[in-house]
Amino acid sequence: MAINTNSVFFCVFVTVVGFFFLFHLPQSCNAHPLKICDFDEIYQLGDSISDTGNLIREAPIGAALPFGRLPYGQNFFNNATGRCSNGLLMIDYFALASGLPYLNPYKNIEADFRHGVNFAVAGSTALSTLKLAAKNISSPVTASSLNVQLDWMSTHFKSTCHNNRDCVEKLKKSLFMVGEIGGNDYNYALFQRKSIEEVKTIVPNVVHAIKDAVRKVIHHGAIRVIVPGNFPIGCFPIYLTGFKTDDSAAYDEHYCLKALNDFSIYHNDHLQRAIEELKQEHPNAVIVYGDYYNSFKWLFQNAPYLGFNASTAQKACCGTGGDYNFDMTRMCGAPDVPVCAESNKFISWDGVHLTQEAYKFMAGKLIHDIFPQLQCIV
């Protein structure tokens, strides 16, 4: 169903009573869950979970990426926009919930940035490529790490604000999303065969980079900041395929890899402690943890009640091969890689990223949980 963002409101209402869930799809109505916050703009830093078109505009790699062509985007836009999904992302639903248009990517120089900017780049990392290289971790997709995105943000504000005081005043009614970021630092390390214990050693560095990013956006004038954590990566087809084992003890009751999920919890625990420290440093700012881990687990564990096919909960819609429809050497967008007929029945789109349907439910759960913490009603 196509949505006219100039006139259509987005309603999210999640009710949990036992195992019954009601989620209202995008439709015409008079209530925006985040409209009470009266946001004028949204600013996004991050990676492929939230990139709306920056990576595909980065030469020379952008033109060759599958995210810039069908089947990406096929189930909403009817063409690819650079989003790593078959349609909308969570940031799109956050914008709709705020009564705002979708965020345009910073690299689209002809775009309208009156309601915010998306600086996120698919494949980006929290640590710079140089810092990762010093730890013998290569970053093969992009050099536009978190510090680069922060530089873009600074450049943007210099062009739109007369001075820092002017920016502080203008950004009082803005929402800042710092992440999800850091997932690729770990993805690259783990698939370059670093052990989980080795990768744990970079968690403090990653969290410090995120913490420093929050400080910088607050310096620009941010008052409300959401800092998302990492997903339970042990439930994703890419990891279930790459780290498949015959050891049944390695899996939990949902057949997710326990050690990888425990690693995500390890990162998220460090991040939440950093957020508490930031709250002490900046008592006038509202800094909220975005619980991607438990929002995904809620979605995953209740998939049948939300309309997903239980038999495909861990399979990619767009992909081929093995138990999870995923092959690292023949991923979604490659020639002759099939796409499922009913993407709304799948949680995973391409084995790495989620479908629009999954992002819709996750966004609804997050908005439901985060809204009271944003302190929009005094």
Which contiguous run of DSSP H or E holds residue 20?
Answer: strand 20-22
C-alpha 9/C-alpha 194 separation (Å) is 46
Q: Is 350 a catalytic residue?
A: yes
Beta bridge partners of 354: 348
What are the DSSP calls for 220-284, one per residue?
HT--EEEEE----GGGSHHHHHHT--S-GGGB-TTS-BHHHHHHHHHHHHHHHHHHHHHHHH-TT
C-alpha 136/C-alpha 130 separation (Å) is 10
C-alpha 185/C-alpha 49 separation (Å) is 14
C-alpha 374/C-alpha 27 separation (Å) is 24
Nearest to 209 by CA among 148, 269, 147: 147
Beta bridge partners of 251: 257
Q: Judging by DSSP bridges, how do beta strands 15-17 and 20-22 pair with one another? A: antiparallel
Identity (one letter) of the amino acid at 330?
R
Radius of gyration of the chain (CA): 20
Q: Judging by DSSP bridges, how do beta strands 116-118 and 174-178 pair with one another? A: unpaired
- Which of the following is catalytic: 47, 48, 51, 348? 48
Identity (one letter) of the amino acid at 275?
I
Beta bridge partners of 339: 318
C-alpha 324/C-alpha 72 separation (Å) is 19
Q: In the block, which residue shows the tokens 């991040």?
A: 271
- Which of the following is catalytic: 32, 115, 220, 353? 353
> Helix, strand, or coil here: 286?
strand
Asked whether 209 and 259 are in contact (CB, 8 A), the reply is no
Query: Active-site residues: which are they?
Result: 48, 350, 353
